[in-house]
Structure 1
């Protein structure tokens, strides 16, 4: 706790803003360290537990299912209990506690290990989704509108670098140190423990944020006479439907996320089956992408401040539509590494600007429920898009599948641009 006390500032809105910016950066770093000790290695850990291809498929499907279920409870909880920070911290703590459960998996019967790990990994998304929804809403409460993008950009740059470092170190240790499977499992268990310890400080840093009551963008919540879960959801639906700007954004988001997520397994298959990649090249690709994400976060933020969030997201999605065609022309894994300079920059812009556009489209009143709807939509596309992408590849070939993904991404960029033109014209 003495470490956090050193970060304290004097009272006052400017001092509070500076303080929250520092705590926000620290929280992002700790979150990146905690998550990336576990999540990047979930698939290979499942394989080490003798998991099947079906287990790997469920490892990707379960989190989205649990996330959708979590949104309904999360929306109700944040409306019922007004202290977002405490509820968010509680569910982050519950989510990170799953790291401790993973430790005991190797002690169970062999036939039970992979299935139970996959189920627990998916169930971990339930508290994490509630926590992330609360954090996204609380971030908007903490920072005035003109500072939100800057705060998220700084946090994203630092957390991306931290994630890169911890992933590289962890991956190399898991590869070089163990002499057999038993030693490797022991090392995984050690990393799970370290991840949980880091997560404790992550939650503590979240609690240390200070809410400035002078921020006029703090969320207000509509009070309904009947606050049962079912009636609350009915009232929520009425509010969302009446918000035309948010509905327009949701249409763009659904089209883009479907096209975005559809390409993920196809890219992986192209790298491994066509270009004969391996763990080393995957690490290099991730490194190059992460470096250029960290470098371009501030550039995208400057563009959004100059041209607006609606224009910047259209440009980011347009650049991302190039990625499938870059894979088509790649004849060596080295080409993919080089092209990830472009891909990393596009991902940085997309991640940053999707959230900025969400804040811009969702009103201050009942902001959390709008974030909940956004979360549901993106997880629904995640349930189906990767499967349909691989189905398309099976019916045609990988080159046609990549071309279709590229065309769909280009169309999503067009839709975002039409949204930009619509609201630019309305503001004149």
Structure 2
């Protein structure tokens, strides 16, 4: 059963409210966990790297059983909400870390963040499949552009307000972060509430749901557009994710940024995302996702190199503003392209395989980045990240050319046979 335009508009509105609550919670985690780890718990470079790489490993572990469960569901809303609530419950556990003295606290944080990503990974996969069912293909580009713009504004306000608030406390004080974790859990409950508000129809028939998941995965090799996209995404994401812990280490240890400056970096990045979302959506409709991903890849390749040119905090704010333009395009276009090349009949399996492979990249890449930092230097590690990002972006352009040739050749054969 399809969804009427009225229900689609309603689900879009509820999805934005759900996303707003999610962004508030994630802003507390993404922007300030590294500062909590280094400033309060005294985490090492290795532990900061593990904060970036272990969550994707947990995602890999959770992805296959999660995909099997999701693939057999007639409705996904309840399942998504339950796994989301499980993930947000870990925020309550983080509150007690500063009270534990018999084990190194920074290692407890690493383990907690890793375990939190088991239910988070399943929630992400379920939500991707869920929202892919609710929002028709012709609406996704415009809707996700509008949704991303609104959520980025919410994230910007929350991040900036939090950074200013944390600046009134000592950098090694634990209790401000404990308050953040509590607020994060509360907004996580709000997030679950709005998730339940979506209207979802039960599937009338499940043609593929009874097939073994391994059989469905074999169809991945047949889908040329999907496999080529996956290869490009792997290379690009390797270069992207290997620098994630490096940015935090550079900003906090080298540039000596406080919570206020960390929030300014995030806000500058988010402002430029807000200003550029519509442009990326409009150009993607005009030129296609893959060509625009090539352009986004060039901008993303510049980010590591430009960052290490100076430790001046105002300069770093400007660089974050510049790179936010390309982050907006990268995040939106990767997700839109993933949905486009994933067939409707086995979307969950295709999304799962993508997340599994990207989970492996997310585990290995940050560790490689930290290893290059320890063995060589920050400049060397960031330069390698830039090169790999550039290669990944270039591959998206090559894929467009080769796929066009393949389509024309296939069409020629078909016409000849007639």
Question: What's the TM-score bracket when you normalise by the shorter of the two chains?
Answer: 0.7 to 0.9
* Correspondence list, 1:195-274, <5 A: 195-211=184-200, 222-224=208-210, 232-271=212-251
Q: TM-score, length-normalised on structure 2?
A: 0.88
Looking at structure 2, the residues matched to 420 and 265 of structure 1 have their Cα atoms a distance apart, in angstroms, of: 32
Residue 100 of structure 1 aligns to a residue whose secondary structure is helix
1:28 corresponds to 2:19:
yes
Aligned length: 406
Q: Tell me the residue number matched to 1:399.
A: 379
Q: Tell me the residue number matched to 2:335.
A: 355
CA drift of 1:413 comes to: 1.4
Q: TM-score, length-normalised on structure 1?
A: 0.86
Larger RCO (CA under 8 A, 6+ residues apart)? 2
CA contact (8 A) 2:17 2:194 kept: yes
Judging changes above 3 Å, is the alpha-carbon distance between structure 1 residues 403 and 257 closer, same or farther for their aligned structure 2 residues? same
Looking at structure 2, the residues matched to 390 and 317 of structure 1 have their Cα atoms a distance apart, in angstroms, of: 22
CA drift of 1:345 comes to: 0.4
Q: Tell me the residue number matched to 2:416.
A: none
Looking at structure 1, the residues matched to 269 and 120 of structure 2 have their Cα atoms a distance apart, in angstroms, of: 25
Looking at structure 1, the residues matched to 205 and 84 of structure 2 have their Cα atoms a distance apart, in angstroms, of: 21
Looking at structure 2, the residues matched to 394 and 113 of structure 1 have their Cα atoms a distance apart, in angstroms, of: 23
Judging changes above 3 Å, is the alpha-carbon distance between structure 1 residues 404 and 49 closer, same or farther for their aligned structure 2 residues? closer
CA contact (8 A) 2:59 2:117 kept: yes
CA contact (8 A) 2:125 2:352 kept: yes
Q: Tell me the residue number matched to 1:163.
A: 155
CA contact (8 A) 1:25 1:154 kept: no
Deviations 1:127-152 (A, max 9, x none): 01100101111111111101112221
Looking at structure 1, the residues matched to 20 and 5 of structure 2 have their Cα atoms a distance apart, in angstroms, of: 23
Q: Tell me the residue number matched to 1:124.
A: 116
1:101 corresponds to 2:90:
no
CA-based RMSD: 2.8
1:318 corresponds to 2:310:
no
List alignment gaps of at least 5 residues for structure 1: 1-10, 226-231
Deviations 1:375-400 (A, max 9, x none): 11112111121222233344444434
CA contact (8 A) 1:75 1:369 kept: yes
Q: Tell me the residue number matched to 1:189.
A: 178
1:70 corresponds to 2:59:
no
Q: Tell me the residue number matched to 1:286.
A: 266
Looking at structure 2, the residues matched to 318 and 219 of structure 1 have their Cα atoms a distance apart, in angstroms, of: 44
CA contact (8 A) 1:102 1:189 kept: yes
Deviations 1:292-323 (A, max 9, x none): 01111111111111112122212211222222
Structure 1 residues 341-350 or 97-106, which shifts more?
A: 97-106
